Amino acid sequence: MTDATIQTLDTPDGPFTVLEDPDGRVLASGWTDSVERILGRLAERNRPERVVDGRVASADAVDAFYAGEVEHAMQVPVRQSGTELFTEGWRQLRLIPAGVVLTYREFAAAMGRPDAVRAAASVCARNAPALFVPCHRVLRSDGTLGGFAWGLDVKRSLLERESVGRTALV
């Protein structure tokens, strides 16, 4: 890929940067204003040769998410490259409805690999288009938040926006 467009949006959770390919598919995104950090979410072979500042197609979906219309983000096209396991995992993440959380064990089962809990965690950890592929909807087996590339405060905020009860957010 040669070109990509990048835009940083202001959100209640801080700056949110989106990187899109020329077809408007999100390649990577996250709660930062650092271009390097966003590019670092992609394998080197999947990074664009040139990044230009501009308006990304997904900006309206980000605004809608923060206005309470959280499912708009699930309609945004994404582009991810990975093994069959990772591709299926990322697909399954997009099927988790807003307001629902799964444990890593439940997520592994949804991927068709009930014993692959560590692999399920890796799928979440390597998810580059955060928000649009909602890895934040997966928690540790004990119900605690676990990890999140953009910080646990952001993960907690996203889940609260999606109407997940506070008792689930240990």
**Domain harbouring 126, CATH code:** 1.10.10.10
Q: Are 22 and 3 in contact, with CB atoms under 8 Å apart?
A: yes
Residues 92 and 145 in one domain: yes
Residues 109 and 147 in one domain: yes
Structural domain of residue 145, as residue ranges? 84-165
* Domain limit, last residue, from 49, 74, 99: 74
Question: Residue 147's CB: how many other CB atoms inside 10 A?
Answer: 13
Determine which helix (DSSP H) or strand (DSSP E) holds 110, and give its type and residue range.
helix 104-110
Residue 135 is among the residues annotated as catalytic for this protein? yes
Q: Take residue 74 and report the two structure tokens written for it.
A: 């699930």
Residues 45 and 90 in one domain: no
List pLDDT tens digits, range 27-75: 999 999 999 999 999 999 999 999 999 999 999 999 999 999 998 999 9
Residues 24 and 70 in one domain: yes
Tell me, yes or no, whether 170 lies in a domain: no
Q: Which stretches in the chain have pLDDT values below 70?
A: 1, 164-170
Residues 101 and 34 in one domain: no
Determine which helix (DSSP H) or strand (DSSP E) holds 39, and give its type and residue range.
helix 35-39
Catalytic residue among 116, 135, 149, 159: 135
